[in-house]
């Protein structure tokens, strides 16, 4: 062996070469049978281990594809309204009271002639199949098990005719109106034939049709049909000088007079954020007012729903029920909304987290936890019936 070979045997380069060769051999497919089959994996908690509605989101986050989580979690533009919806609940304090502590608690209520065990409902949200393979079927089954009505979205991933036979709970239907009234008629007839007890007509989002599709695409999600529709509309120039997509710019209050002959059940307008619009709902014969900013998914930099709820309640003055959503995460949140004038409180993201985490059982468990928290908050404030809830049990500090 010459001096060059001797230096090579003792050199660091030789040792590094042997290390690389060994690593390649260890990773070779032929040696895979020798590997330990046990792999590290996340340990998902058992359903009964979850003690708060907020516990479901991290489980859903761990289980869902990223675009499914993103679509549910995020809001519009800078997400100011999404954050403000949650901040607003921090600006309302519950006032404790020991009065009525010994009385029997009763959260039952009546809404549009139907008796409910709780003032909670499931808000209309799209495409539950992204959260669980059974989609709205699982949501409805979980909601029924928790004695909670479900509002089915126009953009449901399962037709309402297929949802209704899978459980015996109460179903409502949410309509995105179309300019073609015959299209509306067809959808409304199908929903009512399937047993929908009320129709919720969404009238916000006039200038924001696509919601989060493009945002989700930027985060690596596939381009959804919604995104493709938005893209195709953007390819042509809108006729208005502001270059706003015109998919819903035709909305006007006369719409309800056209829809009324098609609807044989209560009709509610969703997306109300001002006292003026609430009064217009009454003038146009709406059976209910639904205070909502689409969970922060409509136009950004709007007010939180909790901030505007008192002025809307004053305008309505008890003449029709007031539904409320956007930002509700806990039973105490629901109590604050009821105290400020809501008749019933609707839940959007929370049941979706339950669905994504554990399917129908997750929906049921998340709703039951919210119901239990509402009961506990009522006890804390000395109110044992919904009729006893009023503004005196809260102190507000809106900026």
Instruction: Return the active site residues.
Output: 294
Q: Which residues contact 294 (CB under 8 A, 6 or more apart)?
A: 204, 205, 211, 271, 326
Are 345 and 313 in contact, with CB atoms under 8 Å apart? no
Count of C-beta atoms within a 10 Å radius of residue 150: 26
Residue 216 three-state SS: helix
Residues facing 200 on adjacent strands: 174, 268
Cα(167)–Cα(244) distance, integer angstroms: 42
The distance of Cα 236 from the centroid of its chain, to the nearest Å, equals 32
d(CA 340, CA 157): 34
Which residue in this structure is represented by tokens 């010994």? 102
The alpha-carbon radius of gyration of the chain (Å, integer) is 26
CA gap 222, 214 in Å, rounded: 10
Q: Any idea what the Cα angle at residue 227 is, between residues 222 and 231, rounded to 5°?
A: 125
- State how far the Cα of 14 lies from the Cα of 138, in Å rounded to an integer: 61
Report how far apart, in Å, the C-alpha atoms of 180 and of each of 161, 183, 185, 259 are: 22, 6, 9, 11
| Rounded distance between C-alpha atoms, residue 324 and residue 333, angstroms | 11
Tokens of 287: 């059976």
| CB-based contact 386:341 (threshold 8 Å) | no
Among residues 220, 196, 209, the alpha carbon closest in space to that of 126 is found at 209
Identify whether the C-beta of residue 338 lies closer than 8 Å to the C-beta of residue 389: yes
The helix or strand, by DSSP H or E, that contains position 349, with its residue range, turns out to be: helix 349-358
Cβ–Cβ < 8 Å for 93, 395: yes
Give helix then strand counts, H and E, for the chain: 16, 12
């Amino acid at each position: 062996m010459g001096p060059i070979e001797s230096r090579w045997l003792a050199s660091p380069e030789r040792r590094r070469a042997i290390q690389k060769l060994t690593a390649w051999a260890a990773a070779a497919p032929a040696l895979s049978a020798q590997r330990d089959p046990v792999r590290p994996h996340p340990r998902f908690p058992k359903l009964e281990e979850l003690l708060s509605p907020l516990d479901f989101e991290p489980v859903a986050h761990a289980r869902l594809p990223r675009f499914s989580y993103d679509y549910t979690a995020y809001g519009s533009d800078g997400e100011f309204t999404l954050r403000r919806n949650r901040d607003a609940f921090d600006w309302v304090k519950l006032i404790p009271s020991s009065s009525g502590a010994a009385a029997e608690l009763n959260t039952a209520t009546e809404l549009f002639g139907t008796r409910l065990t709780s003032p909670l409902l499931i808000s209309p949200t799209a495409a539950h199949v992204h959260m669980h393979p059974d989609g709205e079927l699982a949501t409805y089954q979980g909601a029924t098990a928790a004695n909670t009505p479900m509002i089915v979205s126009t953009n449901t991933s399962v037709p309402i005719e297929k949802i209704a036979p899978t459980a015996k709970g109460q179903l409502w239907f949410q309509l995105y109106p179309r300019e073609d009234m015959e299209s509306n008629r067809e959808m409304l007839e199908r929903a009512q034939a399937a047993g929908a007890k009320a129709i919720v007509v969404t009238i916000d989002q006039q200038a924001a049709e696509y919601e989060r599709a493009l945002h989700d695409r930027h985060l690596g999600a596939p381009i959804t049909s919604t995104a493709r529709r938005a893209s195709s509309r953007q390819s042509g120039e809108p006729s208005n000088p502001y270059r706003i997509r015109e998919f819903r710019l035709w909305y006007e209050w006369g719409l309800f007079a056209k829809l009324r002959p098609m609807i044989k059940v209560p009709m509610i307008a969703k997306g109300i954020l001002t006292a003026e619009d609430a009064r217009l709902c009454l003038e146009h014969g709406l059976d209910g007012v639904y205070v909502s900013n689409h969970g922060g998914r409509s136009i950004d930099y709007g007010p939180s729903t909790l901030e505007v709820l008192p002025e809307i309640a004053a305008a309505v003055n008890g003449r029709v029920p007031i539904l409320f959503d956007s930002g509700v995460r806990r039973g105490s949140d629901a109590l604050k909304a009821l105290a400020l004038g809501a008749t019933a409180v609707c839940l959007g993201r929370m049941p979706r987290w339950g669905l994504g985490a554990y399917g129908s059982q997750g929906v049921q468990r998340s709703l039951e936890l919210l119901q239990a928290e509402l009961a506990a908050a009522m006890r804390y404030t000395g109110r044992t019936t919904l009729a006893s809830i009023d503004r005196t049990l809260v102190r507000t500090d809106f900026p």
